[in-house]
Amino acid sequence: MVLTLILPLRAVFKLEDLITQHHIDNMCKITLATGSMVGYAYMMEFFIAWYGANPNESFTFINRAFGPYAWAYWTMITCNVIVPQFFWFKGVRRNTAIVWLLSLLVNVGMWFERFVIICTSLTRDFLPSSWGYLSPTVVDIFTFFGTFGVFGTLFLLFIRFLPMMPMAEIKAVTPQADIHAGHSRH
């Protein structure tokens, strides 16, 4: 989420001197690390379901991966685990357009994680007679898109009325902050 917001902000407000390529590179590495941890957690969920030998829990996880919402599950896996693996490559981390695109995909994956947890849990109850498939209503769709509007409005208000950069960060990159500035060595 940080990369998704900070890269357009950096471009629009010309903050390249404050949000450097080094910062973006480090955020990509953090995304890579967290994507790998999430992948490990997904594997452990399956392992624990298998190791616990509870047929209901095993069914729940197998149903997520191969049931009616398999498309959402594999989208989640792709966006949260596979997409961040591109950040192993320095060339990818140095291209801000690709970094922004990949960060958008990670956000999509995080949304699908919540979708998978909620929808697969609610549509497959203990009674097969109560099984169903989610059909979003108009209210559901408008609520979904409304969250983007509310978030966007609050984000724009935040950057309008509060400082985008702390003064200490700005002072740190000024020439006066260099301890060697103005001193000549003889």
pLDDT digits (tens, 9 = 90+) for 74-118: 999 999 999 999 999 999 999 999 999 999 999 999 999 999 998
Q: What is the residue range of 118's domain?
A: 2-131
Q: 52, 45, 28, 186: which is closest to 117 by C-alpha?
A: 45
Residues 102, 142 within the same domain: no
Residues 25, 111 within the same domain: yes
The count of domains in the chain is 2
Looking at residue 151, its pLDDT comes to 94
Contact between 31 and 84 (Cβ < 8 Å): yes
From CA 86, how far away is CA 102, in angstroms rounded? 8
123 assigned to some structural domain: yes
Q: 68, 62, 56: which is closest to 131 by C-alpha?
A: 68
43 assigned to some structural domain: yes
Please give the angle made by the CA atoms of 132, 70 and 33, to the nearest 5 degrees. Answer: 130
Q: Point out the least confidently predicted range of 2-16, 55-69, 121-135.
A: 121-135
Looking at residue 83, its pLDDT comes to 97
Residues 10, 81 within the same domain: yes
From CA 96, how far away is CA 3, in angstroms rounded? 9
Q: What is the largest CA-CA distance in the chain?
A: 88
Looking at residue 183, its pLDDT comes to 58
95 assigned to some structural domain: yes
186 assigned to some structural domain: no
Over 60: is that where the pLDDT of 185 sits?
no
Torsional sign, CA 126, 130, 135, 137: negative
Q: Taking the CA of residue 19 as centre, how many other CA atoms within 13 Å lie in the half-sphere pointing to its CB?
A: 19
Looking at residue 28, its pLDDT comes to 96
